[in-house]
Chain A
């Protein structure tokens, strides 16, 4: 917000509960009230989202007796308001009671109990009785997603998740449906979350004030592995976890508590505790090598980072034509899993299926990533289980460990030694900076004096910088939140912007703002955590990935050169287009013939649609009609044939024909005729 427009003039004031308060460009009355030290309650207000005015908790009474929702009115100079007049109190309480009436109040079995805003306010306002009956019908839970659980019975329709997904992430997976008493928040067509284009970032759950959207808990599997004597349980801790796990135990926000976490994990019964930052150092070497190769050849630039699983799925759904621009590097989590299962098991002389790798992540999408089929060998997953910071905190509490009082412990070797480069992966700008610290060295063999690339740091949405790498003017962009990348992609496609390397993280602030982290995900908290990460970086003995002796050891012993064939086998992956809405598409013609028929699908997904596939579909229908073979053709409009790089596409009996335009219906017709002749020949043979 541009704040200081009216500070040049004499500071304007308004009166809150009889006290004058200055207005300093706050965007609404609520912000002024909160600045004055009064914590007006809200469910539906988040400073990073648009004001909604639905929960009726931030009410104030004006001098002339009007009741206003302070989140939705500007702070006018001279206003005189009261924040807890008897009327305001009464209305607020009734609104709260009505919300509670529609809410499944089984607090003792709710994951959010203790951190639930609704519970908190009910206690704060002394609601000792709900006079209205309970809802008699229970709606089914949506357990389809690997990352989040949706329990509509706990939803208070504040719409925070809707606005988070739409405004910050630019997706709009959830929205209000129906009206009045039957209104619900739901994915399109009342489908399950896993059946729509959700990328599992979990930000909806991070803003949900109740237990309607929660992180899917997999604590039971973790305990089962720990108590299975045949398993060697190995834990990797992600960079962003160290500055957030303390929040769950009342430590200062942003405090580095990696040592305590290691100690706690040992007490729980984990065999080996390692650091994902080690794998991030590996990622830096591979990703920088890849980037330098692209830079030298000038091909397939920009290179996008691929550490963020929500971004990777988003790209597979929305930019399938640009997947070759994504770094082929696996994320640090998956690199760690791969190295552990492929090589470390040999060192320990155990079977990969007897090693159980648990990741402790700030992220819900990592649960989806670890389950991707390309990351398992012979049915053994590289990463067996992903626990979020919230879940690991829960386990530590369950084990009765007094976290705050623990003596710090150190990580196991060999994967416990990291550099600052691997640690800053946890914050937006960190991956790009880690790559820049290595790029000069990999290109020329010379080390730069410069370590901190402060030009790529900060929490602004999209940041750009030009950095000199051994004479190359490298254009770097850093974005976080998917809404920001969506906007940047549009500019890149229009040719308004050019970059060589683009770092993308889906969550606000990067991994430190991941949905698996404890606490209220606010800008203030993310700032503290970001500071914590950079503090951890400066405390490291070594700060560049190429200096990590144990990373070198991994290359010397197992992988060979940076970017070698072996490294590609173990540390790289590939991507493929994903359709956003699974379904059959729209059936246009259904051949009536009893015999063999040709199946034709014309893609009308976004890429193909823009290339005029609907016109081609219309022409094709006419051609088929005229050909006299209409009874032998099934024609449908499909939403994605997953050949977006070669759009517009048509599928004729399983064969994809790409590169079509609006006027190419005749080409498709020839293919159909050929397919018909094939079928006929087969029947005659």
Chain B
């Protein structure tokens, strides 16, 4: 297992836990901090959080799996979010999604590429319906995407990766 608990990272989580006085109602802000530090919620850290907040690990797991904002799987370096809200859907988000998945090499059921470079997800609405179909890669929004256009964007990113 690669190191996931650099003390400085664990320290940041301890700070948040202490800030809320080890209060159980702080679970969600603590999990948000964990997600920010690690980009996902590692099992070991969730057990740690459960101990610190005096909750059962099953309860922490329940909250972590309830909210779409939390991920229990390690994500790729680049996170690609394809909007599949109504507007994007009718303007062809599905072909865009398929093109992206094919381009980065994801097979059915996979969300993250084997080399941990890309994670591809769908979201229900980005609130950018005027740009439909919209795709967010990392923190940048790409509007009016087509399979061809998104392919060019990804080509650029892959060059950086290399």
Contacts and interface: CB of A to CB of B under 8 A. Distances in A.
B130 interface: no
Given A590-B2, A606-B51, A636-B5, A172 B58 contact: yes
Most chain B CB within 10 A, of A166, A171, A585, A614, is at: A614
A137 to B, nearest CB: 13
A191 B16 CA distance: 28
Nearest to B11: A618
Contact of A604 (B2, B43, B48, B56): B48
A187 interface: yes
A178 interface: yes
Contacts of B51: 604-606, 609, 639
Contacts of A581: 47, 57
A637 interface: yes
B4 A196 contact: no
Interface residues of A, number: 37
A196 B45 CA distance: 16
B109 interface: no
A166 B47 contact: no
Most chain A CB within 10 A, of B45, B52, B57, is at: B57
Contacts of B10: 586, 588, 614, 617-618, 637
Contact of B57 (A188, A617, A618): A188
B2 A586 contact: no
Contacts of A587: 1-5
B45 A586 contact: yes
B160 interface: no
Interface in A610-665: 614, 617-618, 621-622, 636-637, 639
A188 B5 contact: no
A26 interface: no
Contacts of B57: 188-189, 196, 581
Interface string A153-190: 00000000000001000011111111100000011111
A542 interface: no
B125 interface: no
Contacts of B48: 586, 604, 637, 639
A589 interface: yes
Interface residues of B, number: 31
B7 interface: yes
Contact of A178 (B43, B56, B66): B66
A176 B56 CA distance: 12
Interface in B17-75: 42-48, 50-52, 55-62, 65-66, 72
Contacts of A636: 5
A586 B58 CA distance: 18
Given A583-B47, A609-B51, A618-B7, A186 B58 contact: yes
Nearest to A171: B56
Contacts of B3: 587-590
A590 B1 CA distance: 9
Contacts of A174: 58
B153 to A, nearest CB: 31
Contacts of A614: 10, 14
Contacts of B11: 618
A605 B52 CA distance: 9
Given A621-B7, A637-B5, A166 B56 contact: yes
Contact of A175 (B1, B56, B72): B56
Interface in A566-624: 581, 583-590, 604-606, 609, 614, 617-618, 621-622
Contact of A617 (B7, B55, B65, B72): B7
Contacts of B60: 188
A176 B45 contact: no
Contacts of A196: 57-58
B6 interface: yes
B62 A177 contact: yes
A636 B5 CA distance: 8
B45 A172 contact: no
B44 A586 contact: yes
Contact of A173 (B42, B45, B56, B72): B56
A369 to B, nearest CB: 23
B7 A189 contact: no
B30 to A, nearest CB: 14
B7 A176 contact: no
A186 B62 CA distance: 9
Nearest to B5: A586
Nearest to A639: B47
Contacts of A590: 2-3
Given A177-B65, A604-B48, A172 B55 contact: yes
Contacts of A622: 7
A189 B61 contact: yes
A588 B58 contact: no
Given A177-B62, A177-B65, A585 B44 contact: yes
A617 B42 CA distance: 19
Given A166-B56, A639-B47, A588 B61 contact: no
A113 to B, nearest CB: 29
A587 B2 CA distance: 7
A580 to B, nearest CB: 8
A298 B19 CA distance: 42
A179 B65 contact: yes
A170 to B, nearest CB: 9
A15 B64 CA distance: 45
A609 B61 contact: no
Contacts of A605: 51
B56 A588 contact: no
Contact of B58 (A173, A179, A585, A609): A173
B59 A172 contact: yes
Contacts of B65: 177-179
Nearest to A590: B3
Contacts of B55: 172
Contacts of B47: 188, 581, 583, 639
Contacts of A621: 7
Interface of B: 1-7, 10-11, 14, 42-48, 50-52, 55-62, 65-66, 72
22 contacts: A175-B56, A177-B66, A178-B65, A187-B58, A188-B50, A188-B56, A196-B57, A196-B58, A584-B1, A584-B44, A585-B44, A586-B10, A586-B42, A587-B4, A588-B10, A590-B3, A604-B48, A604-B51, A605-B51, A606-B51, A639-B48, A639-B51
Given A605-B51, A609-B51, 6 more contacts: A175-B59, A188-B57, A587-B2, A588-B3, A590-B2, A606-B51
